[in-house]
Protein backbone atom coordinates (compact mmCIF):
# COMPACT_ATOMS: atom_id res chain seq x y z
CA UNK A 1 0.00 0.00 0.00
CA UNK A 2 1.29 3.50 -0.76
CA UNK A 3 2.66 5.36 2.21
CA UNK A 4 0.04 7.93 3.17
CA UNK A 5 0.82 11.03 5.24
CA UNK A 6 -1.38 10.35 8.24
CA UNK A 7 -1.58 14.05 9.07
CA UNK A 8 -2.53 15.20 5.57
CA UNK A 9 -5.87 16.99 5.40
CA UNK A 10 -8.33 15.47 2.94
CA UNK A 11 -10.57 17.70 0.83
CA UNK A 12 -13.89 15.92 0.41
CA UNK A 13 -15.29 18.86 -1.55
CA UNK A 14 -13.57 17.31 -4.57
CA UNK A 15 -15.88 14.29 -4.29
CA UNK A 16 -19.65 14.16 -4.75
CA UNK A 17 -20.89 11.14 -2.83
CA UNK A 18 -24.12 9.90 -4.42
CA UNK A 19 -23.92 6.32 -3.17
CA UNK A 20 -27.30 4.94 -2.26
CA UNK A 21 -29.20 7.22 -4.61
CA UNK A 22 -30.68 6.41 -8.01
CA UNK A 23 -29.60 8.40 -11.03
CA UNK A 24 -32.92 9.51 -12.55
CA UNK A 25 -33.35 9.56 -16.31
CA UNK A 26 -32.83 12.95 -17.96
CA UNK A 27 -32.13 11.93 -21.52
CA UNK A 28 -28.89 12.42 -23.39
CA UNK A 29 -27.91 16.08 -23.71
CA UNK A 30 -24.88 15.14 -25.78
CA UNK A 31 -21.18 14.75 -25.16
CA UNK A 32 -19.31 11.46 -25.32
CA UNK A 33 -18.57 9.72 -22.05
CA UNK A 34 -15.03 8.34 -22.08
CA UNK A 35 -14.65 5.00 -20.38
CA UNK A 36 -11.92 4.10 -17.94
CA UNK A 37 -9.44 2.66 -20.34
CA UNK A 38 -11.78 0.01 -21.66
CA UNK A 39 -13.17 -0.72 -18.22
CA UNK A 40 -16.77 0.04 -19.08
CA UNK A 41 -16.49 -1.92 -22.31
CA UNK A 42 -15.13 -4.88 -20.37
CA UNK A 43 -18.11 -5.02 -18.06
CA UNK A 44 -20.63 -4.61 -20.86
CA UNK A 45 -19.02 -7.29 -23.00
CA UNK A 46 -19.00 -9.75 -20.14
CA UNK A 47 -22.62 -8.97 -19.32
CA UNK A 48 -23.51 -9.56 -22.97
CA UNK A 49 -21.80 -12.95 -22.89
CA UNK A 50 -23.12 -14.04 -19.50
CA UNK A 51 -26.64 -12.66 -19.74
CA UNK A 52 -27.22 -13.01 -23.45
CA UNK A 53 -28.77 -9.54 -23.73
CA UNK A 54 -27.78 -6.65 -25.94
CA UNK A 55 -26.41 -4.40 -23.24
CA UNK A 56 -24.75 -2.32 -25.93
CA UNK A 57 -28.13 -1.28 -27.33
CA UNK A 58 -28.16 2.48 -27.16
CA UNK A 59 -31.89 2.76 -26.58
CA UNK A 60 -32.72 6.46 -26.60
CA UNK A 61 -29.26 7.35 -27.83
CA UNK A 62 -27.29 7.36 -24.62
CA UNK A 63 -24.81 5.11 -22.93
CA UNK A 64 -25.50 1.46 -23.75
CA UNK A 65 -28.74 -0.02 -22.51
CA UNK A 66 -29.81 2.90 -20.33
CA UNK A 67 -32.84 4.24 -22.13
CA UNK A 68 -35.57 2.96 -19.84
CA UNK A 69 -34.35 4.06 -16.43
CA UNK A 70 -36.75 5.94 -14.22
CA UNK A 71 -36.11 8.35 -11.40
CA UNK A 72 -35.50 6.21 -8.32
CA UNK A 73 -33.78 8.69 -6.07
CA UNK A 74 -34.06 7.46 -2.52
CA UNK A 75 -31.76 9.90 -0.80
CA UNK A 76 -28.76 9.16 1.40
CA UNK A 77 -26.99 11.65 3.61
CA UNK A 78 -23.28 11.30 2.96
CA UNK A 79 -20.96 11.40 5.94
CA UNK A 80 -17.84 11.55 3.80
CA UNK A 81 -16.82 14.96 5.14
CA UNK A 82 -16.98 13.64 8.70
CA UNK A 83 -15.44 10.23 8.00
CA UNK A 84 -12.60 11.29 5.69
CA UNK A 85 -10.70 14.15 7.28
CA UNK A 86 -7.05 13.03 7.38
CA UNK A 87 -4.61 10.62 5.83
CA UNK A 88 -5.13 8.39 8.84
CA UNK A 89 -8.73 7.92 7.73
CA UNK A 90 -7.49 6.95 4.26
CA UNK A 91 -5.56 4.11 5.85
CA UNK A 92 -8.75 2.78 7.43
CA UNK A 93 -11.47 3.27 4.78
CA UNK A 94 -11.54 2.55 1.05
CA UNK A 95 -13.66 5.59 0.21
CA UNK A 96 -11.33 7.86 2.17
CA UNK A 97 -8.39 6.38 0.28
CA UNK A 98 -10.15 7.26 -2.99
CA UNK A 99 -10.54 10.83 -1.71
CA UNK A 100 -6.82 10.91 -0.94
CA UNK A 101 -6.01 9.74 -4.47
CA UNK A 102 -8.29 12.35 -6.02
CA UNK A 103 -6.73 15.07 -3.87
CA UNK A 104 -3.20 14.00 -4.79
CA UNK A 105 -3.94 13.73 -8.52
CA UNK A 106 -5.50 17.18 -8.65
CA UNK A 107 -2.78 18.70 -6.48
CA UNK A 108 -0.18 17.48 -8.95
CA UNK A 109 -2.00 18.75 -12.03
CA UNK A 110 -2.68 22.10 -10.39
CA UNK A 111 1.04 22.51 -9.73
CA UNK A 112 1.94 21.30 -13.22
CA UNK A 113 -0.41 23.74 -14.93
CA UNK A 114 0.76 26.52 -12.63
CA UNK A 115 4.38 25.90 -13.64
CA UNK A 116 3.29 26.71 -17.21
CA UNK A 117 1.38 29.81 -16.11
CA UNK A 118 -1.89 28.03 -16.88
CA UNK A 119 -4.92 27.54 -14.69
CA UNK A 120 -5.97 24.03 -13.78
CA UNK A 121 -9.76 23.66 -13.51
CA UNK A 122 -10.62 21.05 -10.84
CA UNK A 123 -12.91 18.15 -11.72
CA UNK A 124 -15.24 16.53 -9.21
CA UNK A 125 -15.26 12.77 -8.81
CA UNK A 126 -18.71 11.29 -8.21
CA UNK A 127 -19.10 8.11 -6.20
CA UNK A 128 -22.30 6.27 -7.08
CA UNK A 129 -24.09 2.97 -6.64
CA UNK A 130 -25.90 1.13 -9.45
CA UNK A 131 -26.71 4.16 -11.66
CA UNK A 132 -26.05 7.87 -11.90
CA UNK A 133 -27.11 10.93 -13.90
CA UNK A 134 -24.23 12.68 -15.63
CA UNK A 135 -23.89 15.45 -18.16
CA UNK A 136 -23.51 12.68 -20.74
CA UNK A 137 -26.75 10.99 -19.71
CA UNK A 138 -27.68 8.25 -17.26
CA UNK A 139 -25.06 5.56 -16.68
CA UNK A 140 -25.33 2.27 -14.85
CA UNK A 141 -22.50 0.69 -12.93
CA UNK A 142 -22.12 -1.66 -15.92
CA UNK A 143 -20.29 1.02 -17.91
CA UNK A 144 -17.51 1.13 -15.33
CA UNK A 145 -15.60 4.27 -14.34
CA UNK A 146 -15.86 7.07 -16.91
CA UNK A 147 -15.14 10.72 -17.57
CA UNK A 148 -17.85 12.95 -18.99
CA UNK A 149 -16.46 15.95 -20.89
CA UNK A 150 -19.90 17.56 -20.96
CA UNK A 151 -19.81 18.30 -17.23
CA UNK A 152 -16.06 17.66 -16.75
CA UNK A 153 -16.57 15.08 -14.00
CA UNK A 154 -15.28 11.62 -13.19
CA UNK A 155 -17.83 8.95 -12.23
CA UNK A 156 -17.10 5.71 -10.42
CA UNK A 157 -18.92 2.92 -8.63
CA UNK A 158 -16.38 1.71 -6.07
CA UNK A 159 -17.66 -1.86 -6.46
CA UNK A 160 -16.01 -1.92 -9.88
CA UNK A 161 -12.63 -2.85 -8.44
CA UNK A 162 -13.97 -6.17 -7.19
CA UNK A 163 -15.10 -6.91 -10.76
CA UNK A 164 -11.71 -5.96 -12.14
CA UNK A 165 -10.08 -8.46 -9.82
CA UNK A 166 -12.66 -11.25 -9.89
CA UNK A 167 -13.62 -11.19 -13.58
CA UNK A 168 -10.46 -10.07 -15.34
CA UNK A 169 -7.62 -11.50 -13.32
CA UNK A 170 -6.18 -8.25 -12.02
CA UNK A 171 -4.29 -8.79 -8.79
CA UNK A 172 -5.98 -5.82 -7.18
CA UNK A 173 -4.05 -4.04 -4.46
CA UNK A 174 -4.65 -0.62 -2.99
CA UNK A 175 -2.92 1.20 -5.85
CA UNK A 176 -4.89 -0.31 -8.74
CA UNK A 177 -7.80 2.12 -8.09
CA UNK A 178 -5.29 4.98 -8.11
CA UNK A 179 -4.28 4.02 -11.65
CA UNK A 180 -7.93 3.99 -12.73
CA UNK A 181 -8.65 7.40 -11.19
CA UNK A 182 -5.45 8.92 -12.56
CA UNK A 183 -6.35 7.59 -16.02
CA UNK A 184 -9.76 9.28 -15.83
CA UNK A 185 -8.17 12.54 -14.77
CA UNK A 186 -5.87 12.11 -17.74
CA UNK A 187 -9.00 12.46 -19.86
CA UNK A 188 -9.82 15.64 -17.96
CA UNK A 189 -6.42 17.04 -18.89
CA UNK A 190 -7.07 16.08 -22.52
CA UNK A 191 -10.44 17.79 -22.36
CA UNK A 192 -8.78 20.97 -21.11
CA UNK A 193 -6.07 20.76 -23.79
CA UNK A 194 -8.47 19.98 -26.64
CA UNK A 195 -7.10 16.54 -27.57
CA UNK A 196 -9.93 14.41 -26.17
CA UNK A 197 -12.01 14.92 -29.31
CA UNK A 198 -9.57 12.72 -31.23
CA UNK A 199 -11.34 9.71 -29.76
CA UNK A 200 -14.57 10.70 -31.52
CA UNK A 201 -13.20 11.53 -34.95
CA UNK A 202 -11.19 8.30 -35.27
CA UNK A 203 -12.92 5.76 -33.02
CA UNK A 204 -11.28 2.37 -33.65
CA UNK A 205 -8.23 0.56 -34.98
CA UNK A 206 -4.70 -0.13 -33.71
CA UNK A 207 -3.43 3.34 -34.70
CA UNK A 208 -6.73 5.18 -34.17
CA UNK A 209 -7.25 8.46 -32.40
CA UNK A 210 -9.26 6.64 -29.75
CA UNK A 211 -6.35 4.34 -28.91
CA UNK A 212 -3.93 7.27 -28.85
CA UNK A 213 -6.22 9.16 -26.46
CA UNK A 214 -6.40 6.20 -24.08
CA UNK A 215 -2.67 5.52 -24.16
CA UNK A 216 -1.94 9.16 -23.42
CA UNK A 217 -4.29 8.98 -20.42
CA UNK A 218 -2.30 5.95 -19.23
CA UNK A 219 0.90 7.94 -19.65
CA UNK A 220 -0.55 10.87 -17.70
CA UNK A 221 -1.44 8.41 -14.93
CA UNK A 222 2.19 7.34 -14.82
CA UNK A 223 3.36 10.95 -14.70
CA UNK A 224 1.20 11.57 -11.64
CA UNK A 225 2.50 8.39 -9.99
CA UNK A 226 6.06 9.66 -10.45
CA UNK A 227 5.16 12.97 -8.80
CA UNK A 228 2.67 11.69 -6.20
CA UNK A 229 5.12 11.92 -3.33
CA UNK A 230 5.48 15.68 -3.93
CA UNK A 231 1.81 16.36 -3.20
CA UNK A 232 2.11 15.89 0.57
CA UNK A 233 -0.65 13.28 0.67
CA UNK A 234 1.14 10.22 -0.66
CA UNK A 235 4.68 10.28 0.69
CA UNK A 236 6.06 7.21 -1.07
CA UNK A 237 5.06 4.57 -3.60
CA UNK A 238 6.54 1.09 -3.37
CA UNK A 239 7.55 -1.20 -6.24
CA UNK A 240 4.48 -3.25 -5.35
CA UNK A 241 2.25 -0.20 -5.94
CA UNK A 242 3.68 0.33 -9.42
CA UNK A 243 3.34 -3.39 -10.14
CA UNK A 244 -0.34 -3.17 -9.14
CA UNK A 245 -0.85 -0.29 -11.59
CA UNK A 246 0.91 -2.14 -14.41
CA UNK A 247 -1.11 -5.26 -13.70
CA UNK A 248 -4.37 -3.30 -13.85
CA UNK A 249 -3.26 -1.66 -17.11
CA UNK A 250 -2.56 -5.06 -18.65
CA UNK A 251 -5.90 -6.44 -17.48
CA UNK A 252 -7.78 -3.86 -19.54
CA UNK A 253 -5.84 -4.19 -22.78
CA UNK A 254 -8.04 -4.66 -25.85
CA UNK A 255 -6.24 -7.85 -26.85
CA UNK A 256 -6.69 -9.45 -23.44
CA UNK A 257 -10.36 -8.45 -23.30
CA UNK A 258 -11.07 -9.79 -26.80
CA UNK A 259 -9.24 -13.04 -26.14
CA UNK A 260 -11.14 -13.59 -22.90
CA UNK A 261 -14.58 -12.65 -24.19
CA UNK A 262 -14.44 -13.74 -27.84
CA UNK A 263 -11.51 -16.13 -28.05
CA UNK A 264 -9.74 -14.11 -30.74
CA UNK A 265 -7.97 -10.80 -31.20
CA UNK A 266 -9.04 -8.24 -33.80
CA UNK A 267 -6.85 -5.08 -33.74
CA UNK A 268 -9.16 -3.30 -36.17
CA UNK A 269 -11.74 -3.03 -33.39
CA UNK A 270 -9.33 -1.79 -30.73
CA UNK A 271 -10.36 1.37 -28.93
CA UNK A 272 -7.89 1.46 -26.03
CA UNK A 273 -4.70 -0.36 -27.01
CA UNK A 274 -3.09 -3.67 -26.20
CA UNK A 275 -1.99 -4.77 -22.75
CA UNK A 276 1.64 -4.23 -23.73
CA UNK A 277 0.95 -0.74 -25.05
CA UNK A 278 -0.96 0.26 -21.95
CA UNK A 279 1.83 -0.89 -19.69
CA UNK A 280 4.50 0.73 -21.83
CA UNK A 281 2.80 4.12 -21.87
CA UNK A 282 2.16 4.04 -18.12
CA UNK A 283 5.86 3.25 -17.66
CA UNK A 284 6.81 6.06 -20.05
CA UNK A 285 4.94 8.52 -17.88
CA UNK A 286 6.19 7.04 -14.62
CA UNK A 287 9.84 6.89 -15.64
CA UNK A 288 9.90 10.40 -17.11
CA UNK A 289 7.56 12.20 -14.71
CA UNK A 290 7.00 14.62 -17.58
CA UNK A 291 3.68 15.16 -19.41
CA UNK A 292 5.72 16.20 -22.42
CA UNK A 293 6.82 12.57 -22.81
CA UNK A 294 3.19 11.56 -23.39
CA UNK A 295 2.81 12.61 -27.02
CA UNK A 296 0.93 9.60 -28.38
CA UNK A 297 -0.30 11.61 -31.37
CA UNK A 298 3.02 12.34 -33.02
CA UNK A 299 4.23 8.94 -34.26
CA UNK A 300 4.09 5.22 -33.79
CA UNK A 301 2.46 3.85 -30.67
| pLDDT at residue 51 in the model | 33
| pLDDT at residue 44 in the model | 44
| pLDDT at residue 102 in the model | 98
Q: Are strands 15-17 and 125-127 parallel, antiparallel or unpaired?
A: parallel
Angle at 217 between CA 214 and CA 218, to 5 degrees: 90
| pLDDT at residue 75 in the model | 38
| pLDDT at residue 160 in the model | 85
**Sign of the torsion angle spanned by Cα atoms 162, 164, 167, 173:** negative
**Global pTM value:** 0.85
Task: Tell me which residues of the chain have a pLDDT lower than 50.
Answer: 23-31, 36-76
| pLDDT at residue 60 in the model | 27
Per-domain residue ranges of the chain: 3-291
Amino acid sequence: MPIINRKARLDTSQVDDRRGRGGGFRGMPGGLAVGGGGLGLIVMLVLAVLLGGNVLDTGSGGLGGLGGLQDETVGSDSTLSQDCQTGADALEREDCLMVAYVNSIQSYWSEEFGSRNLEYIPATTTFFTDQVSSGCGVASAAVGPFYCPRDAKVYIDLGFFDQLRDNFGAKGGEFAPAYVLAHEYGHHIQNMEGTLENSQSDPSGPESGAVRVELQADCFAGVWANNASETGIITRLTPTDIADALDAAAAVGDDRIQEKVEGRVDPERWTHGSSEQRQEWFKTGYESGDPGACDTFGGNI
